[in-house]
Amino acid sequence: MMMSIMHRITGFGLYFGTVLLAWWVNAAANPNGYARFQSFAGSWIGRFILFGYTWALIHHALGGLRHLIWDTGHGFGPSEREWLAAANLIGSITITLILWIVGLLAVGGPQ
Amino acid sequence: MTELKHIRTPLARVRGFGSAKSGTTAFWHQRVTAIANIPLTIAAVFIVITLLGRNQPAVAQTLGSPTVAVIMLLFIASITAHMRIGMQVIIEDYVHDDLAKLTLIVANSFFAAAVGLISAYGVLKLSFGL
């Protein structure tokens, strides 16, 4: 139940977050535009939004896998549902942290 | 059927309200794009991570390179199609006023198309070196 509404909420957030994707690929065309994007992405608020976006993306992707399993008619048992919900949450937090550790090692801490 | 209120059959009463031939189209497209999103998102996340901390010319060159550009274009197409359907479901679930609902559904389609095309334009521009 809780994971179901989280799937919807993360999808809602990801929807508006695609503006960042549009900004990023368009900013890459010129140095000034890219510097503006990087100063946003490197700021505390930028990092906070991107961290939240990463988690929403991974959580929604794992939640989507759960729905695809359900679409096949499997995973509806009480213990299976509990396990899938836990795996969804723990998996999303773990993968998000791993991605950010890798990412921060690549660029260093916030400027 | 506990009581018969009408002499007409249930089938007769719904006839003429339109066929359901495309009734599952959005449902199906949502699943097809969901499946496509899995490998495409993994690829896009990998691309983003490899570009972190790189300077603008390096990012422009990588994003514009054929393989990366095509992956990004597929990613953009799949996620924007997926999010348009998902947001329409949310609107239909929570907005019950007809005018508000229709307005939001149209705005949703415009937003998804705009984000998708602007993003695709950005990638293509890098790819063609314009």
Mean pLDDT over each residue of chain B, to the nearest integer: 92
ipTM: 0.92
Mean pLDDT of A86-97: 96
Contact A18 B115 (CB under 8 A): yes
DSSP 3-state of B95: coil
* pLDDT tens string A62-73: 999 999 999 999
pLDDT number for residue B24: 87
What residues in chain B have their Cβ under 8 A from chain A's Cβ atoms? 31, 34-35, 37-38, 41, 45, 49, 52-53, 55-57, 59-60, 63, 72, 76, 79-80, 83, 86-87, 90, 115, 118-119, 121-123, 125-126
Q: Which residue has the tokens 């919900």?
A: A85
Rounded average pLDDT over B45-72: 96
Reported as a single tens digit per residue, the pLDDT across A44-91 is 999 999 999 999 999 999 999 999 999 999 999 999 999 999 999 999
Which residues of B are less than 8 Å from A11 in CB distance? 83, 86-87, 90
Closest partner residue to B60 (CB to CB) among A28, A65, A68 is: A28
Percent of chain B with pLDDT over 90: 79
pLDDT in tens, A1-19: 678 899 999 999 999 999 9
d(CA B123, CA B111): 18
Inform me whether the pLDDT recorded for B2 exceeds 90. no
**Helix, strand, coil percent content, chain A, rounded in steps of 5:** 85, 0, 15
Residue of chain B nearest A99, judged by CA positions: B49
Using CA coordinates, name the residue in chain A closest to B128: A29
Lowest mean pLDDT among A66-70, B3-7, B83-87: B3-7
Please list every residue in chain B whose beta carbon sits closer than 8 Å to the beta carbon of residue A25.
63, 72, 119, 122-123, 126
- The shortest CB-CB distance from B56 to any of A11, A31, A102 is to A31
Residue B5 has a pLDDT of 65
**Residue pair A88/A63 in contact by the 8 Å Cβ criterion:** yes
Least trusted range by pLDDT, from A45-49, B7-11, B64-68, B76-80 = B7-11
Q: Is B24 helix (H, G, I), strand (E, B) or coil?
A: coil
Please enumerate in sequence order all residues whose Cβ is within 8 A of that of B1, keeping only pairs 6 or more positions apart, or say none.
none
DSSP code at position A77: S
What is the mean pLDDT of the segment spanning B43-55? 95
Lowest mean pLDDT of A45-59, B7-21, B65-79, name the range.
B7-21
